[in-house]
Structure 1
Amino acid sequence: MINDNDVIDTLTGLESFLLLVESGSLGLGNVAGVALATNNSDGRPFVAVLDDNHQLLLGRWVTQDVFDNGKELVRLGAKKRH
């Protein structure tokens, strides 16, 4: 589920989103990971919250700049950077 109105356009915004996911504040169950990905139909980049079956639980569109520069933040997680 990706809401077209929610676009993460800064690395700070991406970090805030990751902290919400990591803390459980979004109320998502069975979260197994987070990934940056692109939409198969139009190539638009997004951050995906995945369950242990690699199914999309929640997604947020990201700008190309966040996609290009946020990979380490997603790989390491926001909590581990502080």
Structure 2
Amino acid sequence: MINENDVIETLDELETFLLIIENGGLGLNNVGGIALATNNSNGRPFVAVLDDNHKLLLGRWVTQDVFDNGKDLVRKGPNNVH
């Protein structure tokens, strides 16, 4: 469930995405966590929204820079990094 046209290109965009998820803005149910990951088939990085059973609910591609530098933002949450 990753839209090929949606790419998060900056840390600000990643932060906005995380805030939308935290605030329930996309109407996802049973959100259990958010993680940065890589696609098994091609190694492309993405941010994954996971349910309580660690299954992918939603994903967005991210640039390599966001993947490399957004780990604390994803790990700690947008309100705890600044």
TM bucket, shorter chain: over 0.9
TM-score, scaled relative to structure 2:
0.97
Letter in 2 for 1:66: V
Displacement of 1:78: 1.1
Q: How many residues align?
A: 82
Spell out the pairing of 1:32-47 with structure 2 (5 A cutoff): 32-47=32-47
Unpaired stretches in structure 1, ≥5 consecutive residues: none
| Partner SS state of residue 12, structure 1 | helix
TM-align CA RMSD: 0.8
1:31 aligns with 2:31: yes
Preserved CA contact (<8 Å) 2:35 2:74: yes
In structure 2, list runs of 5 or more residues that go unmatched.
none
Q: Specify the alignment match of 1:60 in structure 2.
A: 60
Q: Deviations over 1:10-64 (max 9, x none)?
A: 0000000000000001100000100000000000000000001000000000000
Distance 1:15 1:75 in 2: 12
Identity %: 76
Moved over 6 A (4+): none
Q: Which amino acid aligns with 1:71?
A: K
Counterpart code for 1:33: G
Q: What is the TM-score when the length of structure 1 is the normalising length?
A: 0.97
